[in-house]
A = this chain, B = another copy of it.
């Protein structure tokens, strides 16, 4: 029998690297000292087997993705990741699974100097929850509610690659499947980009639930509308081929799991952007989301990936 305590010690207890962490794993609570001039950003995301990932998914990928989706939420506020707690519910003690999961988790954690400071390990159906904590300069967090008419809408990276990865998993035959599968299995959060947008972007969100749905949150909370330019969307060759083969042109607009950032910048600040980005549209005062496809402007329904549908 491996007890809860030796399980934590064996797989999840590492030396902490942030001096803000004054107590890590090992007491009833962890303790953090928050430096002056910063707010703490907090986010929680859960992944459930057979809902968010397939049964039998590679545990290394799961460890990476679970942390990645949480760091992506920190990135979308411009926060620097600091520490996380992990609530791990597993059906049984499978040491190989746990080791691979921990390896994937810590490979990403170490890249961003994130400390695992606590959590809970329980038995039950495979369910993974992380709460991530980050630091953001006081009063400067990037919000959803602060887009302005006239702002340029930008995204980091490409759209629809993770969605294509899902289609490949579901049987779509792609000539070059690896890049899309990697994006689906091991998304890289835009941690540096988020921090670099502070002071320049007016609004920001991560597009984990798809561009149309997540941009929709910015529009709703900022009480504005937008028009996207189809020709400007950053699409990979594989996604373009997918659209050609299937006619499913909406996929890169609505598919989730692209952990890229969508942000808005006022036109006079666009030249201040220091990160790689693509301009894909404009914020307008008229509510609703529209798509300009070869000069033909059509409304886009705000749909996002919804559970319980």
Q: Which residues of B contact A23 (CB under 8 A)?
A: 141, 143
Using a CB-CB cutoff of 8 Å, which residues 135-170 of chain A contact chain B?
136, 138, 141, 143-145
Q: CB within 8 A of A93: which of B27, B124, B308?
A: B308
Query: Is A237 engaged at the interface, CB distance under 8 Å to the other chain?
Result: no
Q: Cβ of A30: which chain B residues have Cβ within 8 Å of it? A: 41-43
A45 to B131, CA, bound (A): 11
Closest to A49 in B: B124
Q: Mark A162-184, 1 if CB is under 8 A from B, else 0.
A: 00000000000000000000000
Contact with B along A92-132 (1 / 0, CB 8 A): 11000000000000000000000001111111110101010
**Closest B residue by C-beta to A79:** B29
**In the complex, chain B residues whose CB is within 8 Å of the CB of A129:** 44, 46, 87, 120, 129
Whether A123 pairs with B44 at a CB distance below 8 angstroms is no
Q: Are A51 and B123 in contact (CB under 8 A)?
A: yes
Known: A89-B48, A129-B46. A28 touches B144 (CB 8 A): yes
A298 contacts the other chain (CB 8 A)? no
9 more A-B residue pairs beyond the given contacts A28-B76, A34-B40, A42-B133, with a C-beta to C-beta distance below 8 A:
A7-B308, A29-B77, A32-B39, A34-B34, A42-B118, A46-B120, A125-B127, A129-B129, A131-B131
